[in-house]
Chain A
Amino acid sequence: MSLAAPASTPQAYLQAQSRWHPLEIAFWLATLLPFVLFPDYLSLASQIAITALFALSLDLILGYAGIVSLGHAAFFGIGAYSAGLISKFIWGEPLTGLILAAAVAGLVGFAVSFIISRFRHFTLIMITLGLGLLAFEAANRAHWLTGGSDGLQGVSIWPVLGIFKFDLYGYTAYAYALVTLFVVFLGARRLVNSPFGLALRGIRENWVRMPAIGADSRAHIRKAFTLAATVAGLAGAVLAQTTENVSLESISFQRSADVLVMLVLGGAGRLYGGLIGATIFMVARDQFSGIAPQYWYFWIGVLLVTVVMVLPNGILGGLSALYARWRTK
């Protein structure tokens, strides 16, 4: 095997799979544009970054391992409430609060993963739906702790690194959310290109074959689910910290359903799908709710049905197919 043609060796081929594409670099540079071009929309931008992080966490289990969840907001909410409560009762330092809140969500995720890893398909959808509703009602009932439907009051976050205060315009909020998203994305990118990521794709592609090649799928799923819950908790924590408020909405079924819609819109199993789906969803919500505040979901419905019918692999799947065709020409 000659070194002159590196793509000719199997190893070089697999190494090339994890190489950065120029479009990826362009994408991340574009995430900086709101600071310059849309300074009035930085709050929205930070909401998008948070939602994208949440969608990324769902992509790890749904897109890569094929584990559908209708209750993923449970972990988002646990992260959000944990971050809020930490700032209220312990201290308001954001970074430690963020890590602690994510750890709480991860621990709960780890416990739940023992149930998740035993089931598939429809049963799993029902179990995750049930667990999500359970988490919501628990937060609703624990009014003394969470504030119930009034929301958690008294969240107060110190300046990031003792320097950057969370301002009204959302400069700090967006920077904070974006840095968190980017750091987690780097980790997720490593994960999906690793042997573990390959094993998750194996589970997605053929659940029956995995034991026949000596794989412990349940152990893989437990690990992936715990990581996904941790990242979801991280997203919730960023929301709580940047808005200094936690509402029941953060742990609601609506949020679980929305994130699923975003991932399907953008394209599951390709990391950027969730990011793009979240952007489209949040911008559409912002724009459509300006037109008809009560009926904006109508348009999301239209968008979802159209995309699923025309582009089975989501918007990103469609774009990459188009790109591949353009390149071969």
Chain B
Amino acid sequence: MSTIALATRGLSKAFGSLPVARDIAINLPVGARYALIGPNGAGKTTLINLMTGMLTPNSGQILLEGEDITALGPQQRVRRGLARTFQINTLFAGLNALEAVTLAVAERRNLAGQFWRSVGSYSEAIDEAYEILRKLKLGDDCYQITRELPYGRQRLLEIALALATKPKVLLLDEPAAGVPQDESGEVFEAVAGLSDDLTLLFIEHDMHVVFRFATHIIVLVGGAIFTEGSPAEIAADPSVREVYLGKRKHG
């Protein structure tokens, strides 16, 4: 048995009378590559919001490396090693990629309160930021203002910002959302190239991508876990095809 990086127990949330998360129990082993799939409105993003503290659950627990983090705020969870990316670009539009990632690195290194020395003098933080960008092939674009970057590059910057927090667990909310099909491979190659120590959970609609990159798949329907299993098991499960895959022409 491998150790569990992130777990939820009996996680539930309702918006008024509408349940959006129902008794969700997930165990993410260290180094796992889990995919979270399900039809629109199944509560996938809601689950990520609950895990990262952007939403407060009505009941249940979230455990990071065995420690209960349910009561912690979003930034405290990030500091403990739980990071996320956003389905809709949530970037620093007026900063360039180098500044944005340097900011994230500075926050992690507790340098962001320093107001006397110039950013340019923190060479270790800058080098670390540039190294993250370079690995994601953003090195040449790092001086360009974020809002002027091509969309696909902005998706990579989403990941770069999350990596700058040195996460143990990374939750990717449709990392290639909105990227043209022929370019989405680039985003997932970057995801595949991430360290094996990093535990990953990603939401993705493209089943080719899911079957290619996931070691385990969780199917969410109506705010509850419908089923989970290996890609082969999920692909062979007729009920999954019915609720989800059947509506698409994959498989």
User: Which residues of A lie under 8 Å from residue B162 when comparing CB positions?
Assistant: 212-213
Q: A194–B91 Cα gap in the complex (Å)?
A: 20
Q: A201–B121 Cα gap in the complex (Å)?
A: 18
A206 near B79 with CB under 8 A, answer no
Closest to A223 in B: B113
User: How would residues 1 to 15 of chain A score, 1 for a CB under 8 Å from any chain B CB and 0 otherwise?
Assistant: 000000000111111
B92 near A11 with CB under 8 A, answer no
Q: A197–B119 Cα gap in the complex (Å)?
A: 9
A201 near B118 with CB under 8 A, answer no
Minimum CB–CB distance from B108 to chain A (whole Å) comes to: 6
User: How would residues 199 to 236 of chain B score, 1 for a CB under 8 Å from any chain A CB and 0 otherwise?
Assistant: 00000000000000000000000000000000000000
A198 near B127 with CB under 8 A, answer no
Minimum CB–CB distance from A188 to chain B (whole Å) comes to: 10
Interface residue? A190 (CB, 8 A): yes
B119 near A198 with CB under 8 A, answer yes
B103 near A206 with CB under 8 A, answer no
Interface residue? A286 (CB, 8 A): no
User: Which residues of B lie under 8 Å from residue A195 when comparing CB positions?
Assistant: 102-103, 106, 111-115, 117, 119, 122, 125
Residue tally, chain A, CB below 8 Å to B: 35
**Contacts A16-B120, A194-B115, A215-B107 given; does A201 touch B126 at CB 8 Å:** no
Interface residue? A154 (CB, 8 A): no
List residues 47-94 of chain B with CB under 8 A from any CB of chain A: 52, 54, 73-75, 78-79, 83-84, 86, 90-94
A198 near B106 with CB under 8 A, answer yes
B94 near A214 with CB under 8 A, answer no
Interface residue? B99 (CB, 8 A): yes
How many residue pairs, one in A and one in B, have C-beta atoms under 8 Å apart? 141
Interface residue? B245 (CB, 8 A): no
A10 near B127 with CB under 8 A, answer yes
User: Which residues of B lie under 8 Å from residue A210 when comparing CB positions?
Assistant: 75
Minimum CB–CB distance from A229 to chain B (whole Å) comes to: 15
A205 near B93 with CB under 8 A, answer yes
Query: Which among B103, B114, B117 has the greatest number of chain A C-beta atoms within 10 A?
Result: B103
User: Which residues of B lie under 8 Å from residue A104 when comparing CB positions?
Assistant: none
User: Which residues of A lie under 8 Å from residue B107 when comparing CB positions?
Assistant: 199, 213-215
A220 near B93 with CB under 8 A, answer no
Minimum CB–CB distance from A2 to chain B (whole Å) comes to: 16
Partner of A11, one of B84, B111, B117, B123: B123
List residues 191-207 of chain A with CB under 8 A from any CB of chain B: 191, 193-199, 201-202, 204-206
List residues 214-270 of chain A with CB under 8 A from any CB of chain B: 214-216, 219-220, 223
Query: Which among A13, A195, A199 has the greatest number of chain B C-beta atoms within 10 A?
Result: A195
B78 near A211 with CB under 8 A, answer yes
B165 near A17 with CB under 8 A, answer no
List residues 1-42 of chain A with CB under 8 A from any CB of chain B: 10-18
Interface residue? A208 (CB, 8 A): yes
A197 near B115 with CB under 8 A, answer yes
User: Which residues of B lie under 8 Å from residue A206 when comparing CB positions?
Assistant: 90-93
**Contacts A201-B92, A212-B90 given; does A196 touch B112 at CB 8 Å:** yes
Interface residue? B161 (CB, 8 A): yes
Q: A212–B107 Cα gap in the complex (Å)?
A: 11
Q: A205–B94 Cα gap in the complex (Å)?
A: 6
Closest to B124 in A: A11
B127 near A213 with CB under 8 A, answer no
A214 near B78 with CB under 8 A, answer yes
Q: A205–B126 Cα gap in the complex (Å)?
A: 20
Minimum CB–CB distance from B103 to chain A (whole Å) comes to: 5
B98 near A209 with CB under 8 A, answer no
Interface residue? B15 (CB, 8 A): no
Query: Which among B54, B93, B116 has the greatest number of chain A C-beta atoms within 10 A?
Result: B116
User: Which residues of B lie under 8 Å from residue A211 when comparing CB positions?
Assistant: 54, 73-75, 78
A17 near B90 with CB under 8 A, answer no
Minimum CB–CB distance from B243 to chain A (whole Å) comes to: 31
**Contacts A10-B126, A14-B119, A18-B118 given; does A213 touch B95 at CB 8 Å:** no
**Contacts A13-B98, A190-B116 given; does A199 touch B103 at CB 8 Å:** yes
Partner of B118, one of A194, A212, A223: A194
Minimum CB–CB distance from A10 to chain B (whole Å) comes to: 4
**Contacts A195-B112, A213-B164 given; does A14 touch B104 at CB 8 Å:** no
Interface residue? B34 (CB, 8 A): no
Minimum CB–CB distance from A131 to chain B (whole Å) comes to: 25
B112 near A199 with CB under 8 A, answer yes
Minimum CB–CB distance from A312 to chain B (whole Å) comes to: 13
User: Which residues of A lie under 8 Å from residue B84 when comparing CB positions?
Assistant: 212
Known: A213-B104, A214-B107. 6 other contacts (CB 8 A): A11-B127, A15-B118, A196-B113, A205-B95, A212-B90, A215-B103
Residues of A within 8 A of B (CB): 10-18, 190-191, 193-199, 201-202, 204-206, 208-216, 219-220, 223
Q: Which 5 A-B pairs have the closest CB atoms?
A: A15-B120, A214-B78, A196-B115, A14-B120, A205-B92
**6 A-B interface contacts by CB (under 8 A):** A10-B127, A14-B102, A194-B116, A195-B119, A195-B122, A212-B90
